[in-house]
Amino acid sequence: MRLHQKVGLALGSNLGDRLLNLQQAKWYLLALSQEGWHLASPLYETDPIDCAPDSLKFLNAVLEIEFAGAPKTLLKKILAYEAAHGRVRSTGRNAPRTIDIDILYFGEKEVLENNLVIPHPRMAERRFVLVPLSTIRPDMIVKGTGRTVKILLRELPAHGGEVRFVQQEW
C-alpha cells in the first residue's frame, strides 16, 4: 500500500496563452493525483517580480493534489512536463516562461537536496503564492515559520507585488 501525500503546487505562466498553459498543467497534475482529488485556488494575475523590465504579467494559482510517489518522482514528472511545454531553464532565474510548477509542500516531508527543497524556501515571502494558497489552506502552518498562511500573508510588506483576482474556476 502506498501512502498518499497532500502536495501543494504553485503554477505560473507569463508567455503564450497563459490560461491554457495553466489549464493543461492542471489536467496533467490531476492525472497524477489519487482519483483526481484536488483543491484549486482561484486564478490571479500578478506583476512580474525580479524579472526583466519588459516581462509580461503572470497568471498564478495553487493546486493541491494527493500523490502516491516520492518527492523526487514528482519533481521528475514536473520537469519533464515543463520541458515538453516550452519551459526553458537555461535562460536564468525569473525568466519569462510558458509554465512554471513549484512544489510548495509534500505532506509533512522536508527535503534538502541540490535541486529540490521542500517546503519551498521562498513560499512565505511570495504574495503571488500566499494569496492563492490562502484560499485553499488559510490555516495551514508553513513549516519553518510557525505561522499560518493567512498570518504570513498579513505580515508581508505592502510592496510585495499586486495580486489581482481573475476568476474562480479555471
The pLDDT tens digits for 21-78 are: 999 999 999 999 988 889 999 999 998 887 777 889 999 999 999 999 999 999 999 9
The four Cα atoms 151, 154, 156, 159 give a dihedral, to 10 degrees, of 170
In contact, 104 and 134? CB cutoff 8 Å: no
- Of 87-91, 104-108, 158-162, the range with the highest mean pLDDT is 104-108
5-167 CATH: 3.30.70.560
> Hey, where are the domains in the chain?
5-167
